[in-house]
Amino acid sequence: MSKSRAEIPQRQRAFFDAGKTRSVAFRLERLRALQSALEAHEAELLEALHADLRKSPTEAYVTELAYLHAEIRHALRHLKSWMKPQRRSTPPLTWPSRAWTQPEPLGVALILGPWNYPVQLLLTPLVGAIAAGNCAVLKPSEHAPATAEVLERLVERTFAPEHVTLIRGGPDTAEALLRERFDKIFFTGGATIGRKVMAAAAHHLTPVTLELGGKSPCIVCADAPPRIAARRIVWGKFLNAGQTCVAPDHVWADHRIMPFLLEEMVRAVRDFYGEDPSKSPDYARIVNRAHFDRLCEYLRQGHIVIGGQHNREELYIAPTVLTGTSPESPVMQDEIFGPILPVLSFQSLEQVVIELRRRPSPLALYLFTRDRAIQQRLLSETRSGGVCLNDTVLHLTVRDLPFGGVGASGFGTYHGRAGFECFSHQRAVLQRRFAFDSRRRYPPCRLSLATLKRVMRWLLSV
């Protein structure tokens, strides 16, 4: 990173220290400016997303721009209430007093975005950062260069550089930024890079939110309607050619329903993308050749029910459903992050629970069943960042649900109020009056230890 770029965090900090980001008026005005900028650059962004990932305009708008607009509208609607201090109870020891928490901005945030949803996953955290009153430095992924170029123009035209700035570049740029001192780092991406981000943040003791991924399982019980389950799974899996952090990674199907589920999955793929998905305007492409080559290795690790066709020049891999994969095979050990869906059968739910417990906690867990007892059992006996019952992916759209991982799938949450709190510090405040000042508070203590215990139990109760 050049000297001028190295000075960016200091420039942002000076702007923040001047207090210009703190007022509710400033925050609301900047959120509206971002909203207007997205509308003004909509055509450019849709074109860039098609160039980078061959996303159709409809898929790009729904999963990137519409999502962002909803996030901004939600913040505009609720920001004033989020900013209000929250009263807290006080014990008799502090009487007369009152206590509260007040959310305060952290300062200067570094937001590192991924390539799979390069607009939404870079700017949604920015909404939270602006709403909370911070300055921000954005680093988009170099693997979506056309989108990064448009985002750079959008940010330059919308924000003062000392408030929000965007820096393009590769891994060297990211590493250089991570050597600087920030007040918050927000990273979306894979676990390997996530570990490097955490290691760099440790040098300055910077708080970090990691949005990672993992092998999000999908469980289909015998009582689930095969057609509806299949369509919802196929939609969630092959959205963006499977390059979605919460895409169903693999399916566990009850052996009694598995033949019918597979039949309906084949039908759903053909309904959605036609007999030749390579000609479908609604089917995306793999981001680059390295990712393509990795995915092609998985095609050999099971029986292909549908799909399997691929073209390296076009970075095309057809929507593929596999059966007969071993739980120990690489396709069942690695996060797939592509349009390949292994489907395994199970005899008993206990078998699945045991398998899930021995694996790292995923970002999402999907369960299809009408049985409330089974739903409750999976909720109580497994761990995941989030859960969606009887559908896939849509839990992300609920603004009042915090989104984030647990364990290997990350930590920290955002979306809606959680995004505001992600970039805020809840400052605790106790205010006392001068009206009362008991002499018993100060040395020497004239009470026996037994009496003191009884007194303190009351004085510290709330």
Is position 245 annotated as part of the catalytic site? yes
Neighbours of 267 (CB within 10 A): 16
**Rounded Cα distance, 248 and 393, in Å:** 8
Which position among 59, 162, 180, 211 bears the catalytic label?
A: 211
Structure token pair of residue 363: 């970002």
Give 186-192's long-range contacts (Cβ < 8 A, gap of 24+): 186/109, 186/110, 186/111, 186/112, 186/125, 186/129, 186/211, 186/412, 186/414, 186/422, 186/423, 187/112, 187/211, 188/112, 188/113, 188/114, 188/121, 188/125, 188/212, 188/245, 189/112, 189/114, 190/335, 191/408
CB-hemisphere CA count at 13 Å for 148? Answer: 18
**Rounded Cα distance, 31 and 50, in Å:** 26
Closest CA to 340 of 298, 385, 398, 377: 298
Contacts with 30 (C-beta within 8 Å, 6 or more apart), sequence order: 130, 159, 163
Which position among 135, 218, 221, 245 bears the catalytic label?
A: 245
> Residue 251: beta bridge partners?
218, 343
The answer to whether the CB of 319 falls within 8 A of the CB of 234 is yes
User: DSSP labels for 168-235?
Assistant: ---HHHHHHHHTS--SEEEEES-HHHHHHHHHHHHHHT--EEEE-----EEEE-TTS-HHHHHHHHHH
Neighbours of 28 (CB within 10 A): 16
Cα of first residue to Cα of last residue in the chain, in angstroms, is 53
Active site residues: 211, 245
